C-alpha cells in the first residue's frame, strides 16, 4: 500500500512541510510574480554591465560571483560577501529578485559580489546557514592567500576591503559571521564593514510594529513565526541569540569585536521596533553603527521588481539605498 504523504504545515505560499519530513518550496502564490523566484543562469559575458559566474568553494559552499564591466588590470574592487534572506528556510541567490538588485549594486557601487547558496531549514537547522556563511569567508581568505583559486577575485578583488551584506535573515548572518570573524585570525583579508539590511531580529513577544504595521509580500506574521520555528534549534524561542542578538540570552554586544556597520531599515517594516532596539543596543555597546532608514516602504522592498518599476517611491527608495551603501563603502 502506497503511503499518501500528508501536509503538516505551510507558510504563506512559500513552503509546504509534509509528515514524511519532505519540504516543497514550489511557488504557489500569484503567477504574475513567479518570475521573481526563478533562477537566472550564469553568464560569463557582460549583460547590463555585469558578468555572473557560479563556482564551489574549497570547503564545499556554492557561490555566485558578480563582476562589473570595465575593470582595468590595475583596479582593485571591494568584495561583498552576500547572504540571501528567506527566513533561513527559502530562496536562492540566483533568483531574479536578487539578480536584479545585486547586479545593479555591483555595477553602481563598483564591487565584486560573492553570493552564497546557504543550506535551508528545516532540513538543516541553524547554525547551518551561519556555518556556510563563515565557510565562504574563510574561502575568500584562502583565495587571498593563494591556497585556492578564483580568477575574478585574484585579479580584481581588494582583499583589504571585504564587506558582509545580507537581506532579512541574511542580515542576521552578517552579525553572526562578523562576530566569528572578530574571534578568528584572518591575516590575508580585512573585514572592513557589515551591511545588515532589514535584519530578522525579534523577540518571542509581539512588538508594537508587528501589531500595527502592514504585512507585505516579503514578510507576514505567519512567515515570521513559522520560519523561525522551523529554523531555530529545536526547543528554542524567538529569544534565541540568532533571532535576538540584543537579548539577555545573547553574548554581550560589548564583548564582540565587530567592524563598522551600516544598518539599513525600512520605515514600514513589521519588525521595525525590534530592529531599532538592536540599533540602540549596538550604540549602547559603543559599536560603530550608522543607521539608514528608507521612508514609506516595507520589508525587503528593493527585491520586489514590480514595485521598484511601478511605484515611484519604491523606485526612488531603492536608488537611495544603493547610493547610501555606495557611500559607506567609499568611506571604509
The mean per-residue pLDDT over the stretch 1-13 comes to 83
User: What is the spatial distance between Cα 226 and Cα 109, in angstroms, rounded to a whole number?
Assistant: 35
Residue in 103, 168, 207, 216 annotated catalytic: 168
Locate 298 and state its grid cell. Answer: 516595507
Residue in 82, 84, 120, 299 annotated catalytic: 299
Question: What are the b/e assignments for 13-22, b being 16+ CB within 10 Å?
Answer: ebbbbeeeee
| Residue 22 appears among annotated catalytic residues | no
Residues 223/12, Cβ–Cβ less than 8 Å: yes
Q: Which CATH superfamily is domain 40-331 in?
A: Alpha/Beta hydrolase fold, catalytic domain (3.40.50.1820)
| Residue 299 appears among annotated catalytic residues | yes
pLDDT, the chain, mean: 96
User: What is the spatial distance between Cα 244 and Cα 10, in angstroms, rounded to a whole number?
Assistant: 24
| Residue 94 appears among annotated catalytic residues | no
Locate 65 and state its grid cell. Answer: 560571483
| Percentage of the chain lying above the pLDDT 90 cut | 95
The mean per-residue pLDDT over the stretch 9-13 comes to 88
Residue 82 has pLDDT above 70, yes or no: yes
The mean per-residue pLDDT over the stretch 233-240 comes to 97
| Per-residue pLDDT tens digits for 278-293 | 999 999 999 999 999 9
Question: How many residues appear in the chain?
Answer: 332
| Per-residue pLDDT tens digits for 131-141 | 999 999 999 99
What pLDDT score does 1 carry? Answer: 56
Cis peptide preceding 320, ω within 30 of 0? no
End-to-end CA distance of the chain: 64
The mean per-residue pLDDT over the stretch 196-224 comes to 96
| Per-residue pLDDT tens digits for 149-177 | 999 999 999 999 999 999 999 999 999 99
For 2, residues 6+ apart whose C-beta sits below 8 A from its C-beta are none
Q: Where are the domains of the chain?
A: 40-331
Residue in 94, 131, 142, 269 annotated catalytic: 269
Cα within 13 Å of Cα(238), Cβ side: 20
User: What is the spatial distance between Cα 67 and Cα 87, in angstroms, rounded to a whole number?
Assistant: 27
Amino acid at each position: 500500500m502506497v503511503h499518501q504523504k500528508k501536509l503538516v504545515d505551510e507558510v504563506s505560499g512559500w513552503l509546504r512541510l509534509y509528515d514524511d519530513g519532505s519540504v516543497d518550496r514550489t511557488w504557489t502564490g500569484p503567477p504574475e510574480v513567479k518570475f521573481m523566484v526563478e533562477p537566472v543562469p550564469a553568464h560569463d559575458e557582460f549583460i547590463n554591465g555585469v558578468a555572473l559566474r557560479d563556482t564551489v568553494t574549497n570547503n564545499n559552499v556554492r557561490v555566485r560571483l558578480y563582476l562589473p564591466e570595465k575593470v582595468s588590470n590595475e583596479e582593485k574592487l571591494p568584495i561583498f560577501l552576500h547572504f540571501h534572506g528567506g527566513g533561513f528556510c527559502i530562496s536562492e541567490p540566483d533568483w531574479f529578485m536578487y539578480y536584479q538588485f545585486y547586479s545593479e549594486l555591483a555595477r553602481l557601487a563598483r564591487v565584486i559580489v560573492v553570493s552564497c547558496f546557504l543550506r535551508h531549514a528545516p532540513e538543516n537547522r541553524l547554525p547551518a546557514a551561519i556555518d556556510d556563511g563563515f565557510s565562504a569567508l574563510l574561502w575568500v581568505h584562502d583565495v587571498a592567500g593563494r591556497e585556492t583559486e578564483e580568477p575574478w577575485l585574484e585579479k580584481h578583488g581588494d582583499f583589504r576591503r571585504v564587506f558582509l551584506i545580507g537581506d532579512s535573515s541574511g542580515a542576521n548572518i552578517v552579525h553572526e559571521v562578523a562576530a566569528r570573524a572578530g574571534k578568528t585570525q584572518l591575516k590575508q583579508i580585512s573585514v572592513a564593514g557589515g551591511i545588515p539590511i532589514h535584519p530578522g531580529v525579534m523577540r518571542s513577544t509581539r512588538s508594537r510594529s508587528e501589531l500595527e504595521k502592514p504585512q507585505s509580500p516579503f514578510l507576514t506574521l505567519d512567515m515570521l513565526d513559522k520560519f523561525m520555528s522551523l529554523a531555530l534549534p529545536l526547543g528554542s524561542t524567538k529569544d534565541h541569540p540568532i533571532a535576538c542578538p540584543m537579548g539577555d540570552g545573547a553574548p554581550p554586544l560589548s564583548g564582540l569585536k565587530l567592524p563598522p556597520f551600516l544598518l539599513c531599515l525600512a520605515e514600514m517594516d513589521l519588525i521595525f521596533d525590534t530592529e531599532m532596539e538592536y540599533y540602540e543596543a549596538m550604540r549602547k555597546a559603543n559599536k560603530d553603527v550608522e543607521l539608514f532608514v528608507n521612508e514609506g516602504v516595507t520589508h525587503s522592498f528593493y527585491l520586489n521588481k514590480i514595485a521598484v518599476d511601478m511605484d515611484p517611491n519604491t523606485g526612488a527608495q531603492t536608488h537611495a539605498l544603493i547610493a547610501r551603501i555606495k557611500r559607506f563603502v567609499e568611506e571604509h
